[in-house]
A and B are shown apart, each in its own frame.
Chain A
């Protein structure tokens, strides 16, 4: 998200805070890809990720009074998404974790089965990458965040993010070259 987009997002957040509910759609359009690509690797379940993404915007609407306009709205939105995703995991009665990275890195089974979409490369990435690599790839390639933003979002050093991204892309390249997927 560049500076102009960020400024627009801030304006939309303020509009929503002032009661203009139609600003929510604009917020949704500008951030949904980022939110989805953020929660999918946490939940590793397409339907749940979609549901959590939608619920995130309901929460944004509900909690907009708590939004501090001096803060980065992207981070605020992703914090809501993260909490909802963690709640979702906890609801599953799996191993509880309050640590975000623990949750991301957990070895939960990925239910990625869906009928209507054709996403072989993303599926392949999910299959062969480590959870944190998958998350970085999703945020960068799909969520269209910059490495710098991802570092901030995941609280990782920039070097770690670029390193993992390079490593992940190399793995993907190798797998694609070996024909390790179908189209």
Chain B
């Protein structure tokens, strides 16, 4: 049974379940003071009654669901530390003091740093203020060079070495760790913690760690990063940057938004020949061969999953966006062939358009659709088009394309947005497919991990294994049809 069939089954059962008729509401309304008053004052305004429908009863299923045991199993191996009182002043001028303490050992790493006029931290301006602080700063400088791009009030520094992920009540990742022992506090981007993280959940994590692991010793390395998905590839590439030379800048481009990090080089992936791509993939394969599997394996697995699901989410979002936009464009365009869209000057008869910008005024009046309803105007879809295309994470358009600023024809706008979605889907899929999905070597990596560390598998497989992708791709392909 695939995803779609399960969904259908649930939907079908739901229809049986929700067969409750409106008459039950009517009966309840009879006791409503407002309804009684309304009926008394305007006797004509009463709810019409309809005959009840008979529900076909099916066999009762007994699953023994009278109770559910919710077992909370904490299966993390934690070698902690903690980060009480991590305070970073938001000022862009003052020297910021950081005091990262470990309650278990009563040790405290103290250091300070300067913030430049752009709100960034220069690693050369981090000053240790005690012995442990020296270790922290040394750890930072060994791993990163240049500046930390995140504004100071957007990240929190902590000192950790553990394999642990804390998730808040909304399911967002608050903190996790890379394979190099670096802690990531997600402060923006996918999976980002809420703004109240620093007040509410950080304390919760600290309390939890203190309670569970009171006697562990503090070990170093640190730091806040801002992008989850970059960590796996970044760390692997950074570790071998000198050895790999230009390769990292070919397949990936350095991105200031990630600390000395990399993002897929979309232009290269778009323009490169098959041979060039293969060459890069061979090198990437070589990198995978050298992943230190025996080091923080669970963390590696987590990073791999994060990387995959961020891309997958973006891809799904684009699929949904493309379908929405096409539906909207078709509503306006009728049954004419799509490839004629770009030749289109205007979809409407001139006498139906009050002015070239008639719709723009209405577009801004959120909620008041009455005046534009006659044109079947795709208000929601236009908003959605902007939402999808403006998403700056994971392959969205970083800057607005010129056509997005010149919306004088909704059909052309939607068609452009639709084409852009297609382009982004292709890019994402090409990149992802080449690097992960269809890379035979990846299967070997997973197999190696599974052989060596069977506890990482569920029923002999990673969730991200082939079955998942096959089902998911089939699901969305069907959806798109």
- Shortest distance from the beta carbon of A180 to any chain B beta carbon, whole Å: 9
* Proximity string of chain A (154-173) to chain B, C-beta cutoff 8 Å, 1 when within and 0 when not: 11111110111011011011
158-173 of chain B: CB within 8 A of chain A:
169-172
Query: Are B6 and A158 in contact, CB atoms less than 8 angstroms apart?
Result: no
Query: Are B1 and A176 in contact, CB atoms less than 8 angstroms apart?
Result: yes
> Is B338 an interface residue, CB under 8 A from the partner?
no
CB-CB < 8 A to B13: which residues of A?
117-122, 142
Query: Are B66 and A101 in contact, CB atoms less than 8 angstroms apart?
Result: no
> What is the bound-complex CA distance between A25 and B17, given in angstroms?
19
Using A22-B48, A123-B63, A164-B171 as known contacts, say yes or no to A142 and B10 having CB atoms under 8 A apart: yes
CB-CB < 8 A to B327: which residues of A?
2
- Shortest distance from the beta carbon of A151 to any chain B beta carbon, whole Å: 10
> What is the bound-complex CA distance between A32 and B38, given in angstroms?
24
Query: Are B67 and A118 in contact, CB atoms less than 8 angstroms apart?
Result: no
Query: Are A69 and B367 in contact, CB atoms less than 8 angstroms apart?
Result: yes
Query: Are A125 and B10 in contact, CB atoms less than 8 angstroms apart?
Result: yes
Using A22-B48, A54-B28 as known contacts, say yes or no to A37 and B169 having CB atoms under 8 A apart: no
Partner of A32, one of B7, B18, B45, B368: B18
* Proximity string of chain A (40-77) to chain B, C-beta cutoff 8 Å, 1 when within and 0 when not: 00000010001001110110011000000111000000
Query: Are B20 and A54 in contact, CB atoms less than 8 angstroms apart?
Result: yes
What are the nearest 6 A-B pairs in CB distance? A70-B367, A118-B58, A142-B14, A141-B10, A119-B13, A159-B313
* Proximity string of chain B (33-61) to chain A, C-beta cutoff 8 Å, 1 when within and 0 when not: 01100100010011110000001011111
Q: Which of B249-257, B352-360, B376-384, B400-408 sits within the interface?
A: B376-384
- Shortest distance from the beta carbon of A52 to any chain B beta carbon, whole Å: 11
Other than A54-B28, A119-B17, give 17 A-B pairs with Cβ distance below 8 A: A3-B378, A6-B380, A20-B45, A25-B22, A28-B22, A55-B28, A70-B367, A111-B66, A121-B10, A122-B14, A126-B68, A156-B172, A158-B317, A159-B313, A160-B171, A162-B316, A173-B6
- Shortest distance from the beta carbon of B150 to any chain A beta carbon, whole Å: 19
CB-CB < 8 A to B6: which residues of A?
121, 141, 169, 172-173, 176
* Proximity string of chain B (363-394) to chain A, C-beta cutoff 8 Å, 1 when within and 0 when not: 00011110001000011110010000000000
> What is the bound-complex CA distance between A2 and B379, given in angstroms?
11
Mind listing 18 A-B residue pairs with CB under 8 Å?
A: A3-B378, A19-B42, A19-B45, A21-B46, A109-B67, A110-B67, A112-B65, A117-B16, A118-B16, A122-B17, A123-B65, A141-B11, A148-B320, A157-B190, A166-B468, A169-B7, A170-B468, A182-B61
> What is the bound-complex CA distance between A163 and B65, given in angstroms?
26
Query: Are B65 and A110 in contact, CB atoms less than 8 angstroms apart?
Result: yes
173-203 of chain B: CB within 8 A of chain A:
190-192
100-151 of chain A: CB within 8 A of chain B:
101-102, 105, 107, 109-113, 115-127, 132, 137-138, 140-144, 146-148
* Proximity string of chain B (455-474) to chain A, C-beta cutoff 8 Å, 1 when within and 0 when not: 00001000100001001100
Partner of A71, one of B18, B22, B316, B367: B367
- Shortest distance from the beta carbon of A86 to any chain B beta carbon, whole Å: 15
Query: Are B70 and A127 in contact, CB atoms less than 8 angstroms apart?
Result: no
Nearest CB in chain A to that of B68: its residue: A110
Query: Are B3 and A173 in contact, CB atoms less than 8 angstroms apart?
Result: yes
* Proximity string of chain A (70-94) to chain B, C-beta cutoff 8 Å, 1 when within and 0 when not: 1100000000000000000000000
- Shortest distance from the beta carbon of A27 to any chain B beta carbon, whole Å: 10
CB-CB < 8 A to A147: which residues of B?
316, 320
Interface residues on A, range: 35 or more
CB-CB < 8 A to A117: which residues of B?
13, 16-17, 57-58
- Shortest distance from the beta carbon of B49 to any chain A beta carbon, whole Å: 11
> Is A153 an interface residue, CB under 8 A from the partner?
no
- Shortest distance from the beta carbon of A152 to any chain B beta carbon, whole Å: 11
Query: Are A113 and B65 in contact, CB atoms less than 8 angstroms apart?
Result: yes
297-319 of chain B: CB within 8 A of chain A:
309-310, 312-313, 316-317
> Is B76 an interface residue, CB under 8 A from the partner?
no
Query: Are B65 and A21 in contact, CB atoms less than 8 angstroms apart?
Result: no
> Is B24 an interface residue, CB under 8 A from the partner?
yes
Nearest CB in chain B to that of A154: its residue: B170
Using A54-B28, A62-B34, A170-B468 as known contacts, say yes or no to A126 and B65 having CB atoms under 8 A apart: yes
Query: Are B67 and A116 in contact, CB atoms less than 8 angstroms apart?
Result: no
CB-CB < 8 A to A2: which residues of B?
327
> What is the bound-complex CA distance between A125 and B17, given in angstroms?
14
Query: Are A159 and B45 in contact, CB atoms less than 8 angstroms apart?
Result: no
> What is the bound-complex CA distance between A118 and B15, given in angstroms?
11
- Shortest distance from the beta carbon of B450 to any chain A beta carbon, whole Å: 17
> What is the bound-complex CA distance between A83 and B7, given in angstroms?
28
Query: Are B20 and A140 in contact, CB atoms less than 8 angstroms apart?
Result: no
Using A21-B46, A182-B62 as known contacts, say yes or no to A160 and B34 having CB atoms under 8 A apart: no
Query: Are A109 and B68 in contact, CB atoms less than 8 angstroms apart?
Result: yes
- Shortest distance from the beta carbon of B472 to any chain A beta carbon, whole Å: 7
- Shortest distance from the beta carbon of B100 to any chain A beta carbon, whole Å: 28
Query: Are A155 and B170 in contact, CB atoms less than 8 angstroms apart?
Result: yes
Query: Are B172 and A116 in contact, CB atoms less than 8 angstroms apart?
Result: no
> Is B9 an interface residue, CB under 8 A from the partner?
yes
Partner of B63, one of A7, A25, A99, A124: A124
CB-CB < 8 A to A112: which residues of B?
65
- Shortest distance from the beta carbon of B222 to any chain A beta carbon, whole Å: 26
Query: Are A105 and B169 in contact, CB atoms less than 8 angstroms apart?
Result: yes
- Shortest distance from the beta carbon of A113 to any chain B beta carbon, whole Å: 7
> What is the bound-complex CA distance between A112 and B65, given in angstroms?
7
CB-CB < 8 A to B17: which residues of A?
36, 46, 117, 119, 122, 142
Nearest CB in chain A to that of B368: its residue: A70
Using A10-B369, A69-B367 as known contacts, say yes or no to A159 and B191 having CB atoms under 8 A apart: yes
CB-CB < 8 A to B329: which residues of A?
none
